Structure 1
Amino acid sequence: MAKTKTRPRGKGRGGRPSLLWRLLAVLALLAIVGGVWAWWSMRHWQPDRTTFPTQGALVGSADGAVDFVALKAIGADFVYIEASASAFARDPAVVKNLDAARAAGLPWGALHKYDPCQPADKQAANFVTVVPRDKKMLPPAVELEQLADHCPVPVSDAAVVSELMTFLNQIETHTGKPAVLKLGREFEKTYPIAATLDRALWLSSDRVQPDYGGRPWALWTANSGLQTSAAEQPLRWVVVQK
């Protein structure tokens, strides 16, 4: 009895690839090309200047060396500089970045990374020590990302908000300007402060305008990884609401 020959899987008559397999290969190639294009596009995307004419960047030591003159040349109208964090930490590049921003003629502001596990007065003292008084500086920004879930000593939600208010009052006395709340999505979900604290909001969402604050935002981190010639690493690109 003659044995029936079987074709290799994915092969048509004459050993040629079947139409289905060729189609799958084309789709896979298109997916790769599309992914590369999306990555490149995001790395170089900035919001339209006609809608958001004022744009700038947030920089810190993690961004490596930043050329502030070049940053201004590529269209930055301002820069926020990571300055202090929690009760004792400070960004290693804060002094260098502040001096460079001033020398480049870029309006600048300082950012503190708030830690709900640490006392407000100690954090405010840290910020005040790092950030000099300067009437020309932009309103101070407070990054609210860290939750109190894993504090060594439990902190209630009410205490988080109360301590935050103490911190804001102290740094606003130092700077003479109301702070901007750089509010993380999870922080707002856990401690819904946007509706109760009358401060400008700074929200973050790549490419898509954020809405989790429940009210209009003042600043938006529109691209968390903009590739530029001004820095070794991709920068966080920020726009201002008209």
Structure 2
Amino acid sequence: MARKSSSRWRLRLLGAGLLIALIGGGWAWWDLHHWVPPRAAFPMQGVEIGAEDGAVDWAALKAIGADFAYLDASASAFARDGAFVKNLEDARAARLQVGAVHRYDPCQPAEKQAGNFVTVVPRDGKMLPPAIDLDMLADDCPVKVSDAAVQSELTTFINQIETHTGKPSILKVSRAFQQRYGVAAAIDRNLWLVRDRFQPDYAGRPWMLWTANSALANEAGASPVRWVVVQP
């Protein structure tokens, strides 16, 4: 009888431990997907939005604390975000500051990518500085592209879109892209880094924008949004 009683207690303790672990894991998941940096530390906060986010209630985004929106506009030499024009109009109607993002493709010539961007994004002095999303590596390019060529072409692209917008661009650099090409040290532009929950330090110098939660649950739409803060 003593052995049976001891086995029952072990099973109960095991069950209780599993329950606590499940509750703890559920809370951690909920907290991660609802967390944003404190407003006292980062007064200016906003979102990055594209067609993949579906329909967006811009008034609701404004209500939950978005001060600005960066909108996915173009990618590579030919791709364009189908929601850009509507998002631009709706975000402005909600009185958010607005900027445009281009997803850079190291496999495509800089001139063609710049042409794509300037076709999509209006020349408007009220817009925020353009952002260049640097995440794609040149490893899978049909024609081999050296690391030096990636930096050279990127510089050409930056110069061309800055001529169009009249403002210095922001480099949204992923950890992988920075480790491979070292653009934070090579190109003197403000940085936008990405890391959920914890402040990123992989660029080796201070950042201006930080995607602090890449999947923030919110009341503004059915999909999570990318929540971004500005260094005060």
- TM-score norm. by structure 1 comes to 0.93
Structure 1 residue ranges (4+ consecutive) displaced by more than 6 angstroms after TM superposition = none
- Is 1:90 the counterpart of 2:84? The answer is no
SS in 2 for 1:195: helix
**RMSD of aligned residue pairs (Cα, Å):** 1.3
Quote the offset at 1:18 in angstroms. Answer: 3.1
What's 2:95 paired with?
105
Q: Which moved more, 1:130-139 or 1:19-28?
A: 19-28
Structure-2 residue corresponding to 1:230: 220
Q: Match for 2:154: what amino acid?
A: L
Q: Hey, what's the Cα distance between the residues in 2 that align with 1:229 and 1:206?
A: 20
Taking the aligned partners of 2:221 and 2:4, their CA distance within structure 1 comes to 56
Give deviations 1:143-169, integer Å, cap 9, x for gaps.
000000010000000000000000000
2:186 alignment partner, SS class: coil
Q: Deviations over 1:124-183 (max 9, x none)?
A: 000000000111000000000000001000000000000000000000000000000000
Q: Secondary structure at the match of 1:222?
A: strand
Displacement after TM superposition at 1:12 (Å): 3.9
C-alpha distance in structure 1 between counterparts of 2:204 and 2:10, whole Å? 49
Deviation sequence 1:70-95 (CA, Å, 0-9, x none): 11111101000000000000111111
Instruction: Tell me, in whole angstroms, the C-alpha distance in 2 between the residues paired with 1:203 and 1:31.
Output: 32
What letter is aligned with 1:152? P
- Sequence identity (%): 63
Structure 1 residue 17, shift from structure 2 partner: 4.1
Cα deviation 1:190-221 (Å, max 9, x = unaligned): 00010121100000000000000100000000
TM value normalised by structure 2: 0.97
Which structure has more helix as a fraction of its residues?
2
Greater Rg by CA: 1
Q: Which amino acid aligns with 1:179?
A: S
Provide the rounded CA distance (Å) in 1 between the counterparts of 2:46 and 2:221: 13
Aligned pairs (5 A) from 1:1-242? 12-13=3-4, 17-242=7-232
Tell me by how many angstroms 1:228 deviates: 0.9
How far 1:67 moved relative to its partner?
1.1
The 2-side partners of 1:122 and 1:160 are apart by 14
Q: How much does 1:20 deviate?
A: 2.5
Q: Distance in 2 between matches of 1:147 and 1:97?
A: 28
- How many residues matched? 232
